[in-house]
């Protein structure tokens, strides 16, 4: 036996022992919750049954993955690291130059592609579930990006402003019959007022504390929505919210409806396509305004605030105003998105504005790479598109049996993906910073060189 063969053998033995220990630990981890199942029997008493096969599968899977990592993946990664010098990943200028127009062009023709591919009834799912749903989150992500990514203020209660926008539209439209186009800006204004109102008390807080207080505010607003039944109808929510019209032309089968006016056969997909373009426009507006704001003094003040609050203050920047404008701008876009959401659903209830929503939006911003607009959009597509795909994985039923419901696992995988992506790329997918102000040439620096979240 040669020396190298012996070393290889000892490596295998070592990896096997390691996998054995992992199996033992994971057996302990999963024994109570996976190995045992609490079920209610006929007499309505709680009883236990065992699920040992499932436990064995879990343990074997984890030990197998561990073995694979130590024997195959880690040596491979080390060989690769030895070969290449580490460079911070950044988007080449040429890429971002053509990517954005290409992406916008694709989004504009997307409904027609899907119409051509799967017809009117088939494309409803593609435009609504994928197009509109993802674009709402892109818009929310960009809105929160102002607060978290640019100003560095960690906000865990962003969904509160989304709720304010949605309830503004829902209540004002159903009680006073105001049109969508009046209420859209109004919802934005009301939300930004709330942004300032909630921003004031937390001005002195920083980092994690700010996050928890904003979380508390978000929950307070949700609890008020649940309990103020006279106004909000509590858990039952507001139903039959008037839908937006095409500049006064409703989407229905009437003679003055959209289909009749434009001599088309009536289809509910028309409204969906209109809503798609509406949210596309709103999202692009958010992105455009953010990009422009970054070049204005207020945007530069936000970014300065994120990098170092003390330095910022000593340079004479009014940090109070800077923080409040960030809150107000972020909240305004959430208000727009909220009123769109209410108009699209036609029904809103406090269930749509739970903490999980805030966490989802925040994770989109962080996973995308804070401050990077393209990154946020890509993260929204990956996270929301991914969870939507989980919805219709019916083929999994063929593998796991008819009782298997993939939607149950959406949030489970979502949570775990957040952890994994943080470990893999803690700075987000696009972890480079392009300065908006520069002297002679634009230099992209890795975001590992700057700090954030101190604001």
Residues contributing to the site for another protein (CB under 8 A): 25, 28-29, 31-34, 36-40, 45-48, 154, 201-202, 204-205, 207-209, 211-213, 215-217, 219-220, 223-224, 226-227, 310-311, 355-356, 359, 362-363, 366, 370, 408-409, 411-412, 414-419, 422-423, 426-427, 448, 451-454
Which pair of tokens denotes residue 432? 């480079």
Q: Measured from the CB atom, is 234 or 385 closer to another protein? A: 234
Instruction: For the CB of residue 232, give the shortest distance to another protein in the complex, in Å.
Output: 13
Can you spell out the DSSP letters for 239-274?
--PPPP-BTTB-SSSSTTSHHHHTT----THHHHHH
Instruction: For the CB of residue 354, give the shortest distance to another protein in the complex, in Å.
Output: 9
Q: Measured from the CB atom, is 4 or 41 closer to another protein? A: 41
Q: What is the β-pairing status of strands 432-433 and 46-50?
A: unpaired
Q: Measured from the CB atom, is 168 or 363 closer to another protein? A: 363
Instruction: For the CB of residue 6, give the shortest distance to another protein in the complex, in Å.
Output: 31
Can you spell out the DSSP letters for 129-159?
IIIIHHHHHHHHHHHHIIIIIIS----S-TH
Q: Measured from the CB atom, is 44 or 84 closer to another protein? A: 44
CB 334 within 8 A of CB 158: yes
Can you spell out the DSSP letters for 43-96?
TS-EEEEE-HHHHHHHHHHHHHHHHHIIIIIHHHHHHHHHHS--------HHHH
Instruction: For the CB of residue 126, give the shortest distance to another protein in the complex, in Å.
Output: 27
Does the CA dihedral 258-262-265-269 come out positive or negative?
negative
H-helix or E-strand spanning residue 445: strand 445-446
Q: Which residue from 104, 441, 146 is spatially nearest to 293, judged by alpha carbons?
A: 146
The C-alpha atoms of residue 270 and residue 220 are separated, in whole angstroms, by 38
Instruction: For the CB of residue 23, give the shortest distance to another protein in the complex, in Å.
Output: 13
Q: Measured from the CB atom, is 282 or 430 closer to another protein? A: 430
DSSP class of residue 435 equals -
| Residue 315 CB contacts under 8 Å (≥ 6 apart), including other chains | 304
Q: Measured from the CB atom, is 226 or 289 closer to another protein? A: 226
Radius of gyration from C-alpha coordinates of the chain: 26
**Helix (H, G, I), strand (E, B), or coil: what is residue 92?**
coil
Instruction: For the CB of residue 162, give the shortest distance to another protein in the complex, in Å.
Output: 18
CB 238 within 8 A of CB 245: no
Instruction: For the CB of residue 95, give the shortest distance to another protein in the complex, in Å.
Output: 25
The C-alpha atoms of residue 388 and residue 385 are separated, in whole angstroms, by 5
Q: Measured from the CB atom, is 16 or 205 closer to another protein? A: 205
CB 59 within 8 A of CB 27: yes
Instruction: For the CB of residue 238, give the shortest distance to another protein in the complex, in Å.
Output: 19
Instruction: For the CB of residue 38, give the shortest distance to another protein in the complex, in Å.
Output: 5
Q: Measured from the CB atom, is 154 or 183 closer to another protein? A: 154
**Token match 């409803």: residue?**
124
Q: Measured from the CB atom, is 204 or 440 closer to another protein? A: 204
């Amino acid at each position: 036996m040669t020396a190298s063969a012996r070393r290889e053998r000892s490596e295998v033995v070592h990896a096997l022992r390691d996998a054995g220990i992992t199996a033992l630990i994971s057996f302990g981890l999963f024994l109570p919750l996976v190995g045992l199942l609490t079920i209610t029997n006929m007499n309505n008493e709680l009883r236990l049954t065992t699920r040992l096969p499932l436990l064995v599968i879990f343990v074997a899977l984890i030990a197998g993955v561990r073995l694979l990592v130590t024997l195959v993946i880690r040596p491979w990664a080390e060989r690769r690291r030895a070969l290449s010098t580490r460079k911070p990943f950044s988007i080449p200028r040429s890429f971002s130059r053509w990517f954005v127009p290409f992406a916008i062009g694709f989004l504009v023709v997307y409904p027609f592609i899907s119409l051509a591919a799967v017809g009117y009834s088939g494309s409803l799912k593609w435009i609504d579930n994928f197009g509109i749903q993802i674009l709402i989150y892109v818009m929310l992500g960009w809105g929160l990006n102002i607060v978290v990514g640019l100003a560095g203020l960690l906000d865990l209660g962003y969904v509160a402003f989304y709720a304010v926008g949605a309830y503004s539209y829902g209540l004002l439209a159903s009680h006073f019959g105001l049109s969508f186009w009046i209420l859209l800006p109004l919802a934005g204004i009301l939300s930004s007022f709330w942004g300032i109102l909630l921003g004031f008390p937390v001005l002195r807080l920083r980092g994690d504390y700010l996050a928890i207080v904003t979380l508390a505010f978000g929950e307070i607003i949700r609890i008020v929505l649940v309990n103020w039944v006279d106004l909000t109808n509590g858990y039952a929510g507001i139903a039959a919210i008037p839908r937006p019209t095409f500049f006064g032309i409703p989407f229905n089968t009437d003679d003055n409806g959209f289909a009749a006016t434009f001599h088309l056969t009536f289809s509910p997909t028309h409204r969906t396509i209109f809503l798609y373009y509406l949210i596309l426009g709103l999202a692009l507006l958010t992105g455009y305004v953010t990009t422009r704001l970054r070049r204005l003094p207020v945007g530069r003040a936000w970014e300065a605030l994120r990098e170092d609050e003390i330095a910022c203050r000593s340079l004479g920047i009014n940090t109070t105003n800077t923080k409040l404008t960030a809150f107000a701008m972020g909240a305004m876009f959430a208000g727009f998105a909220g009123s769109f959401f209410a108009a699209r659903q036609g029904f809103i209830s406090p269930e749509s504005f739970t903490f999980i929503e805030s966490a989802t939006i925040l994770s989109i911003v962080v996973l995308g790479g804070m401050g990077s607009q393209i990154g946020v959009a890509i993260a929204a597509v990956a996270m929301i598109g991914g969870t939507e795909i989980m919805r219709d994985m019916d083929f999994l039923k063929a593998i796991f049996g008819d009782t298997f419901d993939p939607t149950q696992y959406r949030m489970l995988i979502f949570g775990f993906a957040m952890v994994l992506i943080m470990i893999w790329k803690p700075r987000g997918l696009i972890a480079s910073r392009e300065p908006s102000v520069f002297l002679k040439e634009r230099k992209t620096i890795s975001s590992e060189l700057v700090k954030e979240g101190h604001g």
